């Protein structure tokens, strides 16, 4: 399973994308989001060419052409819209469980479904809230959302973390072997700044963050 962080323009997502998809779900019709889908066709084409994903037509093209509504299609369409509206999909290799153990030792095994109880480091990785479109919840427990206020709060939190204070002993509950703990600690310290930068950049650029786990 891989976690993908999608940075999206806050005004566009909240003002255009989210309402169109919410209305589509409410009306059980793709009509409210057809114009959105048409506007994303150039981005979908550029993505296909850049990543050589083949000639398969994206679902949003079929929606733009009049595809009849289907709940399964709607969920798949949300995934495509998120992908093609993302301003950035940064990559980094921090092990989330290691960070949870270091920064939230009392509840690092808490289930994602209990988002209101998650520690800030967990919310940075999983989202502070479910990703909803009106009454529809998109991929419960596998997709999370940090809105503008969340991004600002988490950017400040991550800036305050001091990795130099972490010790290998802090990982004893997660990793039995002492040498492996030291290696994991070094790896996490190396990559943690990328997570800090992601949230600071999202805040500076007025972006929201969607986190989606893909199998």
For residues 171-188, average pLDDT = 91
Q: Which residue has the tokens 């095994």?
A: 109
Beta strands in the chain (DSSP E): 2-9, 129-130, 132-133, 136-137, 143-146, 207-214
**pLDDT (0 to 100) of residue 3:** 85
For residues 174-199, average pLDDT = 93
- pTM check: above 0.75: yes
Residues recorded for the chain:
215
The CA radius of gyration of the chain, in Å to the nearest whole number, is: 19
List the chain domain ranges: 2-214
The tokens describing 86, both together, are 């993302």
Q: Are 145 and 208 in contact (CB under 8 A)?
A: yes
Helix, strand, coil percentages, rounded to 5, for the chain:
60, 15, 30
Determine phi and psi for 130, rounding to 5 degrees. Answer: -65, 155
**pLDDT (0 to 100) of residue 94:** 76
Report the DSSP pairing between strands 129-130 and 143-146.
Answer: antiparallel
Three-state secondary-structure class, residue 14: helix
Q: Output the average pLDDT for the chain.
A: 92
Which option is the CATH number for 2-214: 3.40.1760.10, 3.40.50.10300, 3.30.565.10, 3.30.365.10?
Answer: 3.40.1760.10
Residue 103: how many other CB atoms lie within 10 Å: 20
For residues 20-28, average pLDDT = 98
What is the per-residue pLDDT across 42-89, written as a single tens digit (0 to 9) for each?
A: 999 888 877 667 677 899 999 999 999 999 999 999 999 999 999 999
What is the per-residue pLDDT across 103-140, written as a single tens digit (0 to 9) for each?
A: 998 876 766 667 878 899 999 999 999 999 999 999 98
- Percentage of the chain modeled with pLDDT above 90: 76
Most confident range (mean pLDDT) of 26-35, 110-119, 167-176 is 26-35
């Amino acid at each position: 399973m891989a976690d993908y962080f999608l940075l999206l323009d806050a005004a566009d997502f909240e003002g255009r994308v989210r309402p169109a998809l919410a209305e589509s779900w409410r009306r059980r019709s793709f009509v409210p989001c057809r114009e959105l889908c048409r506007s994303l066709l150039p981005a979908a084409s550029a993505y296909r060419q850049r990543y050589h994903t083949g000639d398969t037509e994206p679902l949003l093209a079929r929606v733009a052409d009049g595809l009849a509504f289907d709940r399964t299609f709607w969920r798949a369409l949300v995934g495509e819209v998120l992908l093609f509206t993302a301003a950035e999909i940064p990559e980094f290799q921090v092990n989330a469980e290691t960070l949870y153990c270091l920064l939230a030792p009392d509840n690092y095994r808490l289930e994602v479904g209990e988002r209101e109880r998650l520690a800030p480091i967990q919310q940075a990785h999983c989202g502070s809230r479910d990703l909803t479109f009106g009454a529809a919840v998109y991929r419960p427990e596998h997709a999370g959302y940090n809105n503008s206020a969340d991004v600002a709060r988490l950017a400040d939190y991550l800036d305050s973390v001091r990795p130099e204070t972490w010790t290998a002993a802090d990982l004893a509950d997660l990793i039995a072997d002492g040498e492996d703990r030291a290696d994991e600690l070094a790896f996490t310290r190396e990559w943690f700044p990328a997570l800090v930068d992601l949230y600071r950049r999202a805040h500076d650029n007025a972006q929201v963050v969607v986190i989606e786990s893909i199998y």
